């Protein structure tokens, strides 16, 4: 009985190792590595886009807060900005 259990355990471990080795070799083929790299690139690009959206949202929110505190509105701001730009250009 003990011999059979040892044999069964050895066979089970051998099968497990064989399947894991086959899986590892399949993951390390050039096509699989290329696919993994493409997936990681896509994930990174997605995260960068999400970060940029969050950044733009925070910037817009902060700009709105500053406009409210300073009492600026869109129409007067564009006229003031244009006047400032003309002054800067004439000073240069």
Q: What is the largest CA-CA distance in the chain?
A: 100
pLDDT tens for each residue of 54-82: 999 999 999 989 888 888 776 666 677 77
pLDDT tens for each residue of 26-59: 888 899 899 999 999 999 999 999 999 999 999 9
| pLDDT > 80? residue 91 | no
- Tell me if residue 55 falls in helix, strand or coil: helix
| pLDDT > 90? residue 6 | yes
Residue 29 sits at φ, ψ, to 5 deg, of -70, 155
Instruction: Please give the pLDDT value at position 12.
Output: 94
- Tell me if residue 90 falls in helix, strand or coil: helix
């Amino acid at each position: 009985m003990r011999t059979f259990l040892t044999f069964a355990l050895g066979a089970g471990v051998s099968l497990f190792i064989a399947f894991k080795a086959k899986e590892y070799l399949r993951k390390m083929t050039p096509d699989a590595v290329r696919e993994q790299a493409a997936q990681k690139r896509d994930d990174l690009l997605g995260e960068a886009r999400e970060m940029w959206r969050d950044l733009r949202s925070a910037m817009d929110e902060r700009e709105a807060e500053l406009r409210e505190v300073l009492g600026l509105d869109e129409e007067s701001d564009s006229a003031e900005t244009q006047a400032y730009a003309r002054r800067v250009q004439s000073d240069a």
